[in-house]
């Protein structure tokens, strides 16, 4: 099998409402879609979503680099995924979201070639079905309470709250949230997106909370503050999750002793399914449980993440809800709150809405 044609699309996915975290507000998500054609007639789809604050990439950069390297992939066998990654790594350093877009398309082709869903190729089902958290962006406590009412009514059980302001104000808001859900069966996760700065102050503040509904604190410190994360790990009475500080297996390998309980793995951070599997396996050997997280991708990137989560027992949670946030998507990944249905269709298992893809496309190329 050989790659005969590659199409690239720069698209903007409209959000139902702005998504707010401590360093940015998003009205739409900019995504790069890759369409790889083969001489057997099989077509694979992939996606790359950038975050300058995490991988240093921009959507414009992914698109430009994809257009640059695409001609060098023509004629290659898309089934040789390890070799394709080696080729990509020699062509361009870093750029994990770019590589993820190609990787996902390759796995889509592999699944269609094998007539199996991707998760079967990665090891098969480890759970009957996957659930996911509802992520709440930064809002006032009154707005957050209204959101909680809506999501509990919809059937969600896990709430992920974005914080990232003054630590004392954040802790007060967190206590109010925990008090608000005390008579429900919901639980709370916190994501700070690197916004806090003083480990001793963080420990003093967090350790005033003694509530089993608070499951973990995610990446409260800057990605480079390894010593600070160690202090939190040693002194905080709540589990600690790493995100931005660990992009791929190489980042994890550089730490002689990882100082966190959990790891948020994102395909866009590490370079796709192939590299995510490596990272999750190494984390498992170190006793670190993993989550598959999201850069707010469409059905393409979200499905790829769910296939990875389905096949690896060390993935204990998922947060891939981009398609639920968009007013228009390019795929049909099926959600049944609070579960996702991957089904048994081949490859990614989704159908691409070509009309939606066309209407959301800002620019495109074909090689």
Q: For residue 360, what are the CA distances in angstroms to 6, 10, 32, 92, 364?
A: 19, 8, 11, 28, 11
Dump pLDDT digits (tens) for 275-290.
999 999 999 999 999 9
Here the tokens at position 358 are 């066309």
The backbone region for 243, taken as left when phi is positive above 0, alpha when psi lies in -120 to 50, beta otherwise, is alpha
pLDDT of amino acid 336: 92
Residue 282 pairs in a beta bridge with: none
Residue 221 and residue 232 in contact, taking contact as beta carbons nearer than 8 Å: yes
Q: Is the dihedral of CA 172, 175, 177, 180 positive or negative?
A: negative
Active site residues: 162, 191, 218, 243, 266
Helix extents (H) in the chain: 59-69, 81-91, 96-114, 118-122, 141-154, 167-180, 199-206, 226-235, 249-254, 267-270, 273-285, 299-311, 322-325, 354-360
CA 223 to CA 214: how far, in whole Å? 23
Provide the Cα torsion 92, 95, 100, 101; round to 10°: -80
pLDDT at 21: 73
> Tens of pLDDT along 122-151?
999 999 999 998 888 888 899 999 999 999
For 3-25, what is the mean pLDDT?
88
Q: Which of 357, 330, 275 is nearest to 100 (CA)?
A: 275
CA distance 283 to 263: 8
Write out the two tokens for 127. 């759970």
pLDDT digit string (tens) for 67-86?
999 999 999 999 999 999 99
Rounded Cα gap, residues 291 and 264, in angstroms: 5
Are the beta carbons of 158 and 186 closer than 8 angstroms? yes
Model pLDDT for residues 237-262, shown as the tens digit of each residue: 999 999 999 999 999 999 988 899 99
Residues 6 or more apart in contact with residue 84 via CB below 8 angstroms: 73, 76, 78, 102, 103, 106
Query: Which pLDDT tens digit goes with each residue over 326-337?
Result: 999 999 999 999
Average pLDDT over residues 95-107: 98
Residues 6+ apart with CB under 8 A from 153: none
């Amino acid at each position: 099998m050989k790659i005969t044609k590659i199409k690239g699309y720069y698209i903007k996915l409209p959000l139902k409402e702005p998504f707010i975290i401590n360093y940015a507000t998003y009205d739409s998500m900019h995504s790069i879609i890759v369409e790889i054609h083969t001489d057997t007639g099989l077509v694979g789809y992939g996606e790359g979503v950038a975050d300058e604050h995490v991988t240093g990439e921009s959507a414009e950069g992914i698109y430009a680099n994809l257009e640059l390297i695409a001609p060098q992939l023509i004629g290659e066998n898309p089934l040789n995924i390890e070799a394709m990654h080696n080729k990509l790594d020699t062509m361009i350093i870093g750029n994990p979201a770019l590589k993820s877009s190609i990787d996902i398309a390759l796995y889509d082709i592999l699944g269609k070639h094998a007539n199996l869903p991707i998760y079967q190729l990665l090891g098969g089902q480890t759970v009957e079905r996957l659930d996911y958290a509802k992520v709440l962006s930064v809002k006032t406590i009154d707005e957050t309470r209204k959101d909680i009412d809506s999501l509990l009514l919809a059937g969600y059980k896990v709430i992920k709250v974005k914080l990232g302001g003054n630590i004392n104000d954040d802790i007060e808001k967190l206590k109010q949230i925990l008090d608000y859900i005390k008579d429900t069966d919901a639980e709370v996760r916190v994501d700070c997106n690197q916004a806090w700065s003083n480990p001793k102050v963080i420990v003093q503040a967090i350790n005033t909370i003694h509530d089993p509904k608070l499951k973990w604190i995610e990446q409260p410190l800057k990605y480079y503050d390894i010593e600070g994360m160690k202090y939190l790990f040693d002194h905080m009475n709540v589990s600690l999750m790493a995100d931005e500080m660990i992009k791929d297996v190489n980042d994890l390998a550089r730490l002689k002793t990882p100082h966190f309980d959990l790891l948020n793995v994102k395909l866009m951070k590490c370079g796709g399914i192939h590299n995510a599997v490596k990272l999750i396996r190494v984390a498992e050997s170190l006793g670190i449980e993993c989550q598959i997280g999201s850069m707010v991708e469409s059905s393409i990137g979200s499905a790829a993440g769910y296939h990875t989560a389905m096949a690896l027992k060390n993935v204990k949670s998922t947060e891939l809800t981009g398609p639920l946030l968009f007013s228009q998507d390019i795929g049909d990944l099926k959600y049944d709150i609070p579960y996702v249905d991957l089904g048994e269709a081949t490859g990614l298992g989704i159908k691409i809405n070509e009309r939606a893809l066309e209407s959301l496309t800002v620019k495109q190329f074909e090689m």
